[in-house]
Every structure is written in C-alpha cells, then in structure tokens.
Amino acid sequence: MKRVVIIGGGFAGTYAANKLQNEFDVTLIDCKDYFEFTPGILRTITEPEHLNKIQILHKDYLKKAKFICGHVSEVGKNFVKIKNKIISFDYLIIASGSRYESPIKEQDVLSSARTKEVLDYNFKLKKAKRVTIIGGGLVGVELASEITSRFKEKEITIIQADEKIMPRSSERSIKYAKEFLEKSKVKIIYDEKAIKKENNSLITNKGTKIKYDLAFLCTGIKANSEFMKKNFSKLINEKDQIKVNDFLQMEGFNNIFVAGDVSSVLEEKLAQVARYHAQYIVKNIKALEKNKELKKYSKKKRVIVISLGKYNGIFEYGNFILTGLIPSIMKSMIEKRIMLEYKLSSILAKLKAK
C-alpha cells in the first residue's frame, strides 16, 4: 500500500486520515494526542467542564491509521523527520494549522495537561477584576462575549488596531456585535495597538494606559510551517504559509498537499474551510493513484457563525445575516455533529478490534 503521512491532527488532518486509512498506509503525526474542536475552546475558559465535550484521543477514533505524537523537525521530498526518526512517504498532507497565544490554540499539550491549563486560566479569570483582550477580530469578540456573559462583574477592555471590530465581517454583523458588547459594558479602544507592558498595565502606541489583572492575545495568528524552512524556504510566503497551486499541491510537487491555515489560499481561515481542503485533497490523491484528472479547489463565500456568549450569536452568509438565539443553537449543533462523527468512528474502531 502507498504511504500517506499527515502532519497535524486538526480538522483537515483527521478528516484525511479517516477517509484514506482503508486504502493507504496512513500515519498521522500531531504534537498533541487528541483532536479538539477549536471553535469551542473559548467557552472552556469560562466553563472548564465543556472541554470534555470537544476532545477525543486520536487513538480512539483511528481504526487503521497509525498515530505518532511528536514534532516534525524537517520535511524532504519523500520523508519527514521526528527527532532522529525518518518516516518516508509517497504522499504528504501538511495540515499543521496556526497558533494564537495560549490557551486559544495549544500546540504541545497532552490531553491531561490541557485540562489543567484550562482550569488554571479559569481560576485566574475568576480572580481577575480587569480583563484586557488584545485584538477585536472574531476570536477577540467571541472571547469577550463569553466572559461578559458568564462574569458580568468583570471590567473587560478590547484593544483593537482597526477602526472597527471584526473588520472582515459585514457591516450589519459588526453593528450587532458592537451593540451587544456595549450593552454588556465592554470597553472597546479603537485604532490603537498594545506595544508594551509596564507592571500591571498595557501601553498603546498612542500612550493610552490600560490596567489589567489578566490579558489575552487574540491577534496575529502564525502559520505552523517552521519544519519546512530548511528545504523549502522559497515556498514559504511572508505570512509563513506554504504556497500551493489550484489543486492544493505545494508548488512544484505532485505528491505534497497543503490544507487549512498553513496553506497560502487567500480566504477566511475557518475550521470548515480546512475540512473542505481535506475533501479536495483526499479526492485528488485517489485521482493520482488512478491517473485521473485532478479537481481544482474552488474558493467561495463560506458560512460564518459567531458566538456572542451561550445564547446569542450571528449567522453570516454573503448578504444574509441572522442574529440572536438561533445562530448560537446552530453553532452548538455543528459542534455536536462534528464530535459525534469522531465518537462514532471510535465506537466502530472498538467493535472491529473485538
């Protein structure tokens, strides 16, 4: 059987591993030992018990694919390197994702330690009177909404470098989120950047001083592509993303594919987009095996569901905007559906093992 190596156990990597494991010798490499529904992680900071609902160990749902927990240090034309171990491949799928400041996305934490980390942040949050969020994009707005919905007594400040929050969203969505935050007494500082810390204060580029007890960085995601720089530095763009062609292949290579946040495709970096990438890649690897024509990846406007706490939200698809309780229910249902897929795979894997 041909060997497929997959780097990254997020939405794209786990989908590809599941779909290819019956026809290929698949190895999934991830620096953590579990899949996590990352769009739900913000809620765990205010409700740590929610963590159990959005995680599942890789070994539990993979029926045939092998799993290696570790860091890829180097990628070559036909191999990946983990410490001193060389793993060869016929096909490689790079789905290593991106990262924010902990705890929003975690790279190196095993499941038991991840639980402790979320509990630590929840403890810090409960003690904090003043919370500052650096970045007023989707993540910053969702985090502020989660905190203010659960802890109404907190003094929450968002420092936003742009002149409006969620700048890539529609004007109606921005207006609704802004009004929600303002009604919740969240202070938003526009058109300023936090540039340094002084004791328990953040100083902006305009000299504004914001005192805080706890701060979260929700800006400047960084693509995880360090392991590519030794041999493929010319194929890394200024955002640390890997350059791809129309078929999601790394430029100049038929057998290396790139999915999700680490790809250079210019579009909103969403969990559902990573899954769409994986779907195309799975089809194209199978097509290559059968000498069939590859399918071009087609970018299009995707549905965006934004949480504003547990019982409010925004659904956005093109010019159609829906706000209120229904979008929050929709996001909860998406989370449950995705996690159910993994749990069903886990049950099937256990049944086949008997």
Confidence band for 105, pLDDT divided at 50, 70 and 90: low
Look at residue 108 and tell me whether its pLDDT is greater than 60: no
Structure letter (DSSP) for residue 185: T
Q: CB neighbours (10 Å) of residue 290?
A: 7
Q: What's the pLDDT at 228?
A: 98
> For residue 274, is pLDDT > 50?
yes
Mean pLDDT of 256-278: 95
Q: Distance of alpha carbon 172 from its chain centroid, rounded? A: 25
| Domain 3-31+70-100+221-299, classified CATH 3.50.50.60, yes or no | yes
Domain boundaries, the chain: 3-31+70-100+221-299, 111-219
164-214 residue pLDDT tens: 999 999 999 999 999 999 999 999 999 999 999 988 899 999 999 999 999
User: Any idea which fold 111-219 has?
Assistant: FAD/NAD(P)-binding domain (3.50.50)
* 3-state DSSP assignment of residue 322: strand
**How confident is the model over 303-331, as pLDDT tens digits?**
999 999 999 999 999 889 999 999 999 99
Residue 255 has pLDDT above 60, yes or no: yes
- Residue 79, amino acid: F
CA 301 distance to own-chain centroid: 18
Q: What percent of the chain has pLDDT over 90?
A: 84
Query: What three-state secondary structure class fits 295?
Result: coil
- Average pLDDT on 86-106 reads 83
Q: Is residue 219 very low, low, confident or very high in pLDDT (cuts 50, 70, 90)?
A: confident
For residue 67, what pLDDT band results from cuts at 50, 70 and 90? very high
Q: Residue type for 160, please?
A: Q
pLDDT score for 349: 76
Same fold, 3-31+70-100+221-299 and 111-219: yes
Edge-first strand order for the sheet with 74-75 is: 74-75, 79-82, 85-88
Helix then strand count (H, E) for the chain reads 9, 22
What integer pLDDT is reported at residue 279 of this predicted model? 97
Cα–Cα nearest to 135, from 177, 100, 172: 100
Is 60 exceeded by the pLDDT of residue 102?
no
What span, in angstroms and rounded, lies between the C-alpha atoms of 133 and 164? Answer: 15
Residue 192 tokens, joined: 């300023």
| Strand, coil or helix: 176 | helix
- Mean predicted lDDT score pLDDT of the chain: 93
Percent of the chain with pLDDT over 70: 95
Nearest to 273 by CA among 286, 260, 263: 260
Element (H, E) at 145: helix 138-150
Q: Is the pLDDT of residue 107 over 60?
A: no
**Considering only CA atoms, which of 139, 194, 134, 131 is closest in space to residue 166?**
139
> Is the pLDDT confidence value at 334 over 50?
yes
pLDDT of 109 reads 45
Whether cis (ω within 30° of 0) applies to the bond prior to 167 is no
Neighbours of 163 (CB within 10 A): 8
